[in-house]
Structure 1
Amino acid sequence: MFETAYRKTFTAIHFSLSSVVAVSVALSLCTPGRGQSTSSPHLVQTNLYRTEGLAELPEAPAPQGELAIGSSSSFGEGEAESAGAPARTPRFAPKPLAPLYDKYIEPSQRAQPLTGLTRKLLFGADQIISPYFFVAVVGSASYEQAANGSPNYGTNGGAYGQRLGAAAIRDASQSIFTDGLMPAVFHQDPRYYVRGKSHNAFFRGTYAVSRVFITRTDGGANAPNYSLFAGHAATAILQNAYYPDVNHGAEETAKGFAGSFAGAALSNTVREFFPDLLHLVHLE
């Protein structure tokens, strides 16, 4: 008899609480200007610190204040514990922050804000001391030496050393212009957001190439990549100061300008698929 009374009492309390919650929710939804806000502790509001312009972008990092839906609930906790039910787990967890001066942001990372002249100049300078910089310098100089292309120093050992020096100056000035100074002038984000294996290869390839022409602003919106255009133009003009005389002039400058875009597209594509290449050779 005591057990029957206990069950009836518990059922009545449960029904009363459910009714109160339902009525509170209905009233909050019907109140003008309040939207979904409520004083009930059982409704968790997400996107507390929504950053304007980031939500619509596929590469935008999740806002740091975003809460996991269903991560906690005060109603029914006693019932779950008494029944031995496992504790609820969040549907998602905040992604770790990427290092501030990393040029490539992985899908598992959130990007830190990169705004202001000082930060962007430091970002551009940091690219000069990265391993990617030295790989790019050696790679471009080796290709130019093998093809006997611009800059036309010749094909002997001394010419290769000259090409290494020219490639280092060219890539360093390009990093300062396209990753530092011009992004500060145009208020754009010079980083590349890797799409990763959750997308198919065609999408990833076209995305990598498109980032040469389209980039993000500091506010998170898509925009023409003015920083890259202006940075590559400045780099190509500056080449006339240290390239051989045969590589001076408008035509050679235009070739250098076009070649830098091809190099940027190739760099994005290699970085996009680099983890896949490591997996193929069983290094990841």
Structure 2
Amino acid sequence: MKRYLIAPAASLLFSPLLLAQGTNLLPVAEARLEQPVPLPDAPSAVRDSLEDQASQSNANSPVRANVGNYGRPVAKKYASVIYPGQQSLPLSATDKMVYAVPDSFGLMNLASIMTSAGWSHLVDSAPHYGRNSEAFGKRVGAATLRNATQSLTTDAVFAPLFRDDPRYYQMGRDQNFFKRGLYAASRVVVTRSDSGHQTLNAPLLLGYGTAAGISNFIYPDQDTGAKATLGNYGMSLGGAAIGMLANEFLDDALRIVHLRK
């Protein structure tokens, strides 16, 4: 009989303790009930999460060599034109010397040589070699030497010396046509430094001046001297402006005739 009375007595003895413990547990239980039940992510959140994961994966992938900061595509290191939205790689002094070689003998320079020699032969302007086929060959040779000297001294000598970037940074179709034209023509006297700031295009001005001076050693006597050299220098700068305009608008022209997408 005593054994059956032990359990009720024990419950009476420990009931205050159990009640106190239960009172302490109530706030915890209520707090747990008050916490919001997590809902599944919205589709946009899931998409963003996947894109972040993909970006992180691409960052560790060697395929990402053509993507730079902020996901911008990286232009080829020795590209002569940097398009809007592209990230350019820095060029060291050695890189600029390497860049000067294809820039001196590329398709654009070849077109410039033939145009200059052809126009000079057509109107019989300086250099005055005559009007026969031999004269045209001399004009092509002189134009080749002049253009190569211009490019090599500008890109490989003066650009490293003044720490300027020899590449052309295109403004692009998002801008006004006339604004683009003015910008392109102004690149003859304004360029971008290696640090990205606008500065005087001393490499081009000095490089073209050097080529104009060298022309005195290959042109006929009537096309040499200070006055003729200054005239040749001015014509060369005008040709440089035309080249800058081509860099800005050539892609648009090719798209118009459906030669480029």
* TM-score normalised by length of structure 1: 0.69
Match of 2:149 in 1: 173
* Secondary structure class of the residue paired with 2:192: strand
> Where does the alignment leave 5 or more consecutive residues of structure 1 unmatched?
15-77
1 or 2, which has the higher helix percentage?
2
Provide closer, same or farther for how the CA distance between residues 7 and 279 of structure 1 changes in structure 2, counting only shifts above 3 A. farther
* Secondary structure class of the residue paired with 2:191: strand
The 1-side partners of 2:235 and 2:188 are apart by 12
The reply on whether 1:111 has 2:88 as its aligned counterpart is yes
Provide closer, same or farther for how the CA distance between residues 153 and 198 of structure 1 changes in structure 2, counting only shifts above 3 A. same
The 2-side partners of 1:84 and 1:134 are apart by 55
Match of 2:22 in 1: none
The reply on whether 1:220 has 2:196 as its aligned counterpart is yes
Aligned AA for 2:150? Q
The 1-side partners of 2:251 and 2:184 are apart by 14
The 2-side partners of 1:206 and 1:247 are apart by 32
Provide closer, same or farther for how the CA distance between residues 7 and 209 of structure 1 changes in structure 2, counting only shifts above 3 A. farther
Match of 2:234 in 1: 258
1:202 aligned residue (174, 178, 181): 178
The 1-side partners of 2:204 and 2:33 are apart by 71
The reply on whether 1:97 has 2:97 as its aligned counterpart is no
Aligned AA for 1:203? K
Provide closer, same or farther for how the CA distance between residues 79 and 178 of structure 1 changes in structure 2, counting only shifts above 3 A. same
Taking the TM superposition and a 5 Å limit, the aligned residue runs for 1:48-59 are: none
Match of 2:163 in 1: 187
Match of 1:21 in 2: none
Between Structure 1 and Structure 2, whose CA radius of gyration is higher?
2
Identity of aligned residues (%): 34
Deviation at 1:162? 0.8
Match of 1:79 in 2: 40
> Where does the alignment leave 5 or more consecutive residues of structure 2 unmatched?
1-30, 56-68
* Secondary structure class of the residue paired with 1:233: helix
Deviation at 1:167? 0.6
* Secondary structure class of the residue paired with 1:107: coil
Give a deviation string over 1:231-281, Cα, whole Å, max 9, x none.
111111010111111111001100111111111111111221111111222
The reply on whether 1:9 has 2:35 as its aligned counterpart is yes
Give a deviation string over 1:121-141, Cα, whole Å, max 9, x none.
222122123211211111111
Aligned AA for 2:40? E
Is the contact between residue 74 and residue 88 of structure 2 (CA under 8 Å) also seen in structure 1?
yes
Match of 1:122 in 2: 98
The 1-side partners of 2:43 and 2:73 are apart by 33
Deviation at 1:211? 0.9
1:156 aligned residue (125, 128, 132): 132
Match of 1:237 in 2: 213
Aligned AA for 2:35? T
The 2-side partners of 1:253 and 1:244 are apart by 12
Aligned AA for 2:182? T
The 2-side partners of 1:84 and 1:217 are apart by 46
Aligned AA for 1:103? S
Is the contact between residue 105 and residue 148 of structure 2 (CA under 8 Å) also seen in structure 1?
no
The 1-side partners of 2:107 and 2:85 are apart by 22
